[in-house]
Amino acid sequence: AQSVTQLGSHVSVSEGALVLLRCNYSSSVPPYLFWYVQYPNQGLQLLLKYTSAATLVKGINGFEAEFKKSETSFHLTKPSAHMSDAAEYFCAVSPNNAGNMLTFGGGTRLMVKP
Amino acid sequence: NAGVTQTPKFRVLKTGQSMTLLCAQDMNHEYMYWYRQDPGMGLRLIHYSVGEGTTAKGEVPDGYNVSRLKKQNFLLGLESAAPSQTSVYFCASSIRWDQGTVSYEQYFGPGTRLTVT
């Protein structure tokens, strides 16, 4: 079984500041990990994914995430926030040997102040 | 390609009424999923399908039924709607899992906002 915890349901940053969204997972087998973004009134869009290759994963819109097995974490970062980054972000985990099922975290809403 | 589409976008039901949500994908994906999204709870899997004619229960299946008569369509039915089913419903699709290949991702539709009064 696997689970995902996203620390902080709401995160507020100033435009140009560092974005850090936290994700911790538990999984009984090596996981695949995903970050999705949801803009208002839209579906989810894949930002990036970890599939047991490089531990530092780069995604779209300048986001990246680092898989840290010892900390069971997959935190999402962006060096400089932009107003257009305001959205809800979801971390998800999938076991790498058992098919397509995703388990999602509760989501973090990112607010960007001018 | 339209990707994943959902019909309708909005719906208001009275308690006890029934309805069907339609999901269609044009990517020739084997797998399709129905989720519900509630504040603070992320997305929870209701039912899924690994191919035409097959369906399986997810995390929160009670009160819902599904059918996959055609590969490109996945229907979600509510036989007797309850206020607890007020939610945003998302459909998704993905390629078939094939162990040893790189991972897949799920492609999501725009959602259906359902209110049950």
Tens of each residue's pLDDT in chain B, 117 residues = 789 999 999 999 999 999 999 999 999 988 999 999 998 888 999 999 989 999 999 999 999 999 999 999 999 999 999 999 999 999 999 887 664 455 578 899 999 999 999
**Of residues B29 and A80, which shows the higher confidence score?**
A80
**Of residues B8 and A101, which shows the higher confidence score?**
B8
At residue B36, the pLDDT reads 96
Residues 6 or more apart whose CB falls under 8 angstroms from that of B23 comprise: B4, B5, B6, B32, B34, B73, B74, B75, B76, B91, B93, B109
Q: Does residue B73 sit at the A interface (CB-CB below 8 Å)?
A: no
pLDDT classification of A2: cutoffs 50, 70, 90:
confident
Number of separate helices (H) and strands (E) present in chain B = 0, 11
Q: Cβ–Cβ contacts within 10 Å for residue B78, how many?
A: 20
**How many Å lie between the alpha carbon of A105 and the closest alpha carbon of chain B?**
6
Question: Which residues pair with residue B78 across a beta bridge?
Answer: B19, B64
Q: Does residue A4 sit at the B interface (CB-CB below 8 Å)?
A: yes
Closest to A100 (Cβ–Cβ): which among B4, B97, B109? B97
Q: Does residue B88 sit at the A interface (CB-CB below 8 Å)?
A: no
Residues A8-20 have pLDDT tens digits of: 999 999 999 999 9
Find the residue in B nearest to A48 (Cα).
B105
At residue A98, the pLDDT reads 58
At residue A52, the pLDDT reads 76
Residues A18-76 have pLDDT tens digits of: 999 999 999 877 788 999 999 988 899 999 998 877 889 999 999 999 999 999 999 99
**How many Å lie between the alpha carbon of B79 and the closest alpha carbon of chain A?**
25
**Of residues A101 and B6, which shows the higher confidence score?**
B6
Report CA dihedral (B106, B107, B108, B110) to the nearest 10 degrees.
Answer: 170
Q: Does residue A43 sit at the B interface (CB-CB below 8 Å)?
A: yes
Question: Which residues pair with residue B57 across a beta bridge?
Answer: B47
Find chain A residues with C-beta within 8 A of B96's C-beta: 100
